Structure 1
Amino acid sequence: MEEEVKLHGFWPSPFSHRVIWALKLKGVKFDYIEEDFPNKSQLLLQYNPVHKKIPVLVHRGKPIAESLIILEYIEETWPEHPLLPKDAYERALARFWIKYGEEKGITFYNVFRSVGEDQLEKAMKEAMEVLKVLEEKGLGEKKFFGGDSIGLVDIAFGSFPHWFEGMEEVIGVKLLQPSTFPRLCAWMENFKEVPVIKENLPDPQKLLAHLKRIRESFIADA
């Protein structure tokens, strides 16, 4: 039976890329539909009437929304090339860190949207605390969060090596320094070298221009 896999996404979205990476790592063929934001297509609104946002995976005509839920669906539907550990305890740990990342993601966005020295200093302090937890408790001495090979936790944190670096460049601060976070910085380099990741990233200059526009809107609204 034909799989009929389609993905509605938006080129600068790290959440769309999470799903692209997972599908590619699994060897799943899919059609990609680029959404034109803010002009959302009627199909997108039909498939995701609650949140009205990307990504949306459509498998055999049935839509699945929210990137982390989509990742779990992909893992269960295509068990070949597993992205979660086989051991139940290790799977639970992986899900813990994925949830931790979901809860703390706003911390890094707050750095990017901070306007004014006091606001930025507060946001950076909070972000540094989260990075310290990831460095010491999440990653430790491992190459990837799950061990020697890339998994769902790495994909969930995949915005760091490209998007967060771009945000740092736009605001002119550098939080992820090898001297402060050597393990996370080594992980980012390892992550970038995975062929599926390297071959499926937005153009860095185009992304940087996109982030600069967003940053300018924050400053204008302040």
Structure 2
Amino acid sequence: MLELYYLKEADSVCSNRAVITLAEKEIDDWTPRYIKLLNEDHFQGDYLKMNPKAVVPTLVHDGNPIRESSIICDYIDELKPDPALKPKDLLQRAYMREWIKDSDEIGFPGVAALNFVTRFRSVIDVKKLESRWKKQPDLEKTLRQQSVIREGMDSEWVLRGLVGWDRIFKKMEDTLADDRPWIMGDNLTLVETCYAPLVKVLDMIKWLDIWLDGRPHVAQWWDNLGQRPSVLGLDEYDGHTADVNSDHAKAGMALVEDARERLQSYNADRA
């Protein structure tokens, strides 16, 4: 039996990594177990036994929990041979894992900060958030959220996110310059299923042009990836769409020029 404890929200990037990977693997015999952050389901005893870090998602296979979204995606790929989401070549697999490591260490905290400074900061009840901080086991996550909520666009985490994604998209543009359709070549891999939810959020807050202007290969890659049914399905979640009138888009567009100027200033200082 395969169960996924996850958030059914378009900006829950870690949950959506697993959902997209399941879809791309054409696995549909799994049971959804919805977690609601507002109800603090992830702090409840039964969930903490499965996931002591109180993070989402958790995949449970025949009663055994698998944690950490990129590890979950790799596990899902191993459940059946086709369609394969990893290269056959051992060296290429190593390069694939390097991409995924960047998505975990740079891409995820970057998106978390940028989504917080736009959408979350504009609507969140700070008192509820302060209560959640007391329960969060992950100190770095707490410090990042506190910095962004209290300092807004001046937070160093916002700059880290802007610069980190600039680095990622530059690497992508260089990689895709030979007109390959996907990062690892002719076939879509775990690189795409791990990056898609992250880039999706940047698209939702309407900040993608900050990095994609002048990077046509990445723009085409995202256009192709964003149109896959596995990714389009995220637009069906209640309250979260790619529409310019969505709450994410409105909050993002109010700050996009500030973000662009901050990245440009940083790059100019290093030139």
Measured against the shorter chain, the TM-score band is: 0.7 to 0.9
Equivalences for 1:61-210 in 2 at 5 Å?
A: 61-105=63-107, 106-112=109-115, 113=117, 115-116=152-153, 124-137=162-175, 139-140=176-177, 141-168=179-206, 174-177=209-212, 179-203=213-237, 205-206=239-240, 208-209=246-247
The one-letter code matched in structure 1 to 2:223 is: E
The one-letter code matched in structure 2 to 1:189 is: D
CA change 1:47–1:213 in 2 (3 A) is farther
CA change 1:211–1:62 in 2 (3 A) is farther
Whether the aligned pair in 1 keeps the contact of 2:111 and 2:201 (CA below 8 Å) is: no
The one-letter code matched in structure 1 to 2:216 is: P
CA change 1:85–1:192 in 2 (3 A) is same
- What does residue 62 of structure 2 align with? 60
1:48 aligns with 2:51: yes
Whether the aligned pair in 2 keeps the contact of 1:11 and 1:202 (CA below 8 Å) is: no
C-alpha separation between the residues in 2 aligned to 1:109 and 1:200? Answer: 17
- What does residue 220 of structure 1 align with? none
Secondary structure class of the residue paired with 2:206? helix
Secondary structure class of the residue paired with 1:175? helix
**Unaligned runs of at least 5 residues, structure 1:** 215-222
Secondary structure class of the residue paired with 2:196? coil
Q: Mean Cα displacement is larger for which, 15-24 or 193-202?
A: 193-202
Whether the aligned pair in 1 keeps the contact of 2:57 and 2:68 (CA below 8 Å) is: yes
- What does residue 32 of structure 2 align with? 32
- What does residue 217 of structure 1 align with? none
Task: Tell which has more relative contact order, 1 or 2 (C-alpha 8 A, sep 6+).
Answer: 2
Q: Quote the offset at 1:127 in angstroms.
A: 3.4
C-alpha separation between the residues in 1 aligned to 2:248 and 2:217? Answer: 29
Secondary structure class of the residue paired with 2:37? coil
- What does residue 14 of structure 2 align with? 15
C-alpha separation between the residues in 1 aligned to 2:92 and 2:220? Answer: 22
1:69-126 per-residue CA deviation (whole Å, 9 max, x = no partner) reads 1111112232221100111111111111111221212234444536246966775345
C-alpha separation between the residues in 2 aligned to 1:194 and 1:27? Answer: 13
Whether the aligned pair in 2 keeps the contact of 1:44 and 1:53 (CA below 8 Å) is: no
Whether the aligned pair in 2 keeps the contact of 1:150 and 1:191 (CA below 8 Å) is: no
CA change 1:180–1:205 in 2 (3 A) is farther
Structural RMSD (CA): 3.1
Q: Quote the offset at 1:130 in angstroms.
A: 3.2
C-alpha separation between the residues in 2 aligned to 1:100 and 1:47? Answer: 26
1:6 aligns with 2:40: no
Equivalenced residue count is: 207
C-alpha separation between the residues in 1 aligned to 2:45 and 2:183? Answer: 38
Q: Mean Cα displacement is larger for which, 66-75 or 121-130?
A: 121-130
1:149-178 per-residue CA deviation (whole Å, 9 max, x = no partner) reads 321001111124421112336xxx84133x
More helix by share: 2
Q: Quote the offset at 1:181 in angstroms.
A: 1.6
TM-score normalised to structure 1 length: 0.79
